[in-house]
Structure 1
């Protein structure tokens, strides 16, 4: 089997999987419709970008449609960035300002207008044959490589902030979602770095290496996407977004300093802390697996801002860890109770407010140094 046939076969399989998954995401009933639409669009744009071998089978030579297909790659990473935004923030909405993401695509096509789009076929062939000397294509590749670096940096910064906001304001198990999305983004980043390597070889004296790297990318791509979707679709509650209006505690502290606000005195701080601890012990709000800092603030009648500073800054604990400590303590009481020796660890974790075995084990080991099972055996 020669290289061209292999490319066609691999591209056809990759294209079919991407289109099928995109169709599924667009038709499946879900609350996360915007996220699904954006990820489906990302899959379709990726499919178009990797369809080069199939496109060449039906194209007679360089064409405006073929070049337009190439420039659509400028949409891939911006769409993925918007997808991550929609996953992280529950109040995400598509806004006119997001049209700015079109700029790289528009700039690239405007540059190609004089010497490619508006000339005859012979001139187009000459343009492609001498691509190493064409500043438009060189600029095209520099721009898209720069775009990859900037957008993926922005995505990682977004995930870091979203995870921190979640830890400071929520006590569910959704932290796993940000870890998972971070892993997927890392894998996707590695894939795009390989794409950059492919493009470097494309304009070198070893273009055949570029073709073999392309085959490898085509093979890896559907596996990575299927891996991600399998995880996401089998855990419909995995991505439980946060409110983008929430502020990090570090920002709240900075605002206080800039505004010369009077900080809470020690006596008032102790009163609020006592009220909080009493509420946690008597009312046991931590038994609610979806507990938020807003729920606790309402329960003890303290402003959310003050409570956030109290827990996340004064106690130097994330709200997530603060609540989980109470859950673990409650689980420890059950594990110590000889009358409940037949109650399984799985039943216990649900009873004390966890809804994930992995998050329960992680929190329990962090708090006690042991797993729940080994702790029970050691009693």
Structure 2
């Protein structure tokens, strides 16, 4: 119990400190920070049980109400993910619907817990395994977590597709990192659900140990997350939620029974696009978007997106990187530029990070830039 109190106190302090830091931090991403701060506060409320029990003797309305805040955690995290993925995110009245599980749980507990005397409350808690209210709440929290986790991954999946189809900057690596963080958080929620199962079984002590391990690991993960996020303030924030996936555009065209693109027009636009890419080298701009190319060659974004993402069978991201890699290969083959470092080359051709450059280069050539240069040097001996 002493260990539980110590861990709980430290966890509570760090969660609240991080939440306060995010709220007071001066940044243009105030909504995202506020949502993650709310998530941390809800986490703090959730883990405050041991300290709360020291101050309150026996079951109480306040204690039960505190427990019900667990139903707000995952919806707030879901809204946070949306706010990070889409640059035009705004809080809307419809998001109040995410409060429904929280409200339903408290309404369910109203007749036989909130409105009864202390003795009845104690009896309710002692016989919780047989209480239909607890069984309902137990099922609801599992359904809620699973549903929201699926929804989060769907948002991330769609956001990545939209990014690949419309952008060619550095933020795809940030998306991958955000995806990894969500996977880790999903594992934590899975362990939390397992903890709840043991809590209502014949092995409640296992639930307590799982609880301690969750507090410790979640704090390390949250601190790591914030460290990364604050060092990458542009984290995947360039997506406009009004953009449509190419698959959606194609489906609309098919439903209207109109040809997606005329063959002759397709050939003309393709020639125009390739000529522009070779002569103007827009790929050297590390933040190039499909909108930029569209305005320069005077082809509507919709048509250009279909041309590249559907007709050529490439994402805009990969299409642009192909030109960047070809340019990098030309530099590597140039004997007069043998002293130019790989890092200098990747920035020169439009990449922002070594990892994204190496990944794209290996995907295009089957080799790393360093090995490619070494092989050229050997062949020239």
One fold, TM greater than 0.5? yes
Which of 295, 298, 303 is equivalent to 1:301?
A: 298
Partner residue, 2:247: 250
Partner residue, 1:215: 212
Do structure 1's residue 90 and structure 2's residue 83 form an aligned pair?
Answer: no
Which of 136, 150, 160 is equivalent to 1:139?
A: 136
- Is this contact kept in 2: 1:14–1:47, CA < 8 A? yes
The within-5 A match list for 1:7-22 is 7-22=4-19
Residue aligned with 1:274, SS: helix
Do structure 1's residue 196 and structure 2's residue 201 form an aligned pair?
Answer: no
Q: Distance in 1 between matches of 2:258 and 2:171?
A: 34
The within-5 A match list for 1:1-379 is 4-379=1-376
Q: Distance in 2 between matches of 1:9 and 1:221?
A: 16
Deviation at 1:278, TM superposition (A): 0.4
Deviation at 1:241, TM superposition (A): 3.0
**Structure 1, unpaired ranges of 5+:** none
Residues 292-331 of structure 1: CA distance to partner in whole angstroms, max 9, x if unpaired? 1011111110010000000000000000000001111111
- Is this contact kept in 1: 2:309–2:315, CA < 8 A? yes
- Aligned residue pairs total 376
Residue aligned with 2:69, SS: helix
TM-score, normalisation: structure 2: 0.97
Q: Distance in 1 between matches of 2:260 and 2:6?
A: 67
Cα root mean square deviation, aligned: 0.9
Q: Distance in 1 between matches of 2:359 and 2:38?
A: 36
Q: Distance in 1 between matches of 2:80 and 2:352?
A: 26
Q: Distance in 2 between matches of 1:180 and 1:321?
A: 19
Q: Distance in 2 between matches of 1:366 and 1:277?
A: 21
**Structure 2, unpaired ranges of 5+:** 377-381
Residue aligned with 1:246, SS: coil
Partner residue, 2:379: none
- Is this contact kept in 1: 2:175–2:235, CA < 8 A? no
Q: Distance in 2 between matches of 1:180 and 1:47?
A: 25
TM-score, normalisation: structure 1: 0.98
Deviation at 1:239, TM superposition (A): 2.6
